[in-house]
Amino acid sequence: MRKRFSELCRLQVKDEKIHVSKDDEGIALTSNWDLDRIVLSAWLGPVLRREIDTASTLIGKAGSDVHVDLSPTVTVLYRTAESLETALTEGSPSTLARDLVELAKDIENRAPNERLDEQPDQPTRTLLRRLAARIEGLQEAP
């Protein structure tokens, strides 16, 4: 039921039939109802995607300016890349990665004794660990 509701929420967000305001975000974050957080998570995916796409477009534009302009500047490219690096490496991402790993461990420890909404192939644990590894990989500096 929750999976179907989540899919319906994602479709509604995609069709722009659901809009979550900043006030709604705050309410959903503190809500005691899973459904509120399911709607928020459905909304968050496209929001994050748009932000990443905007940064990617800006970096692409700045990069093409370097190739084309007679007197190129890399200032816009540098500042955009710097902003993206800051967003990916400071504050929350490292905490998020750690929290995802801890949640996967908690689910694994509780699964034998409690009925969790897990399938035999452990998709939630697998996803949490995979996402944590990706976040940690993004944070590694060359």
Q: Lowest mean pLDDT: which of 85-89, 92-96, 113-117, 129-133?
A: 113-117
CA distance 97 to 102: 9
The reported pLDDT for the residue numbered 115 is 65
3-state secondary structure of 26: helix
> pTM to 2 decimals?
0.58
Q: Which two tokens stand for residue 77?
A: 């490219």
Give 43-80 pLDDT, tens digit per residue: 888 888 888 888 888 877 777 666 565 555 677 777 77
Give 103-140 pLDDT, tens digit per residue: 888 877 877 776 665 666 677 888 888 888 887 777 66
CA distance 45 to 9: 11
* 124 and 118 Cβ atoms separated by less than 8 Å: yes
**CA separation, residue 90 to residues 27, 72, 83, 135 (Å):** 26, 30, 10, 12
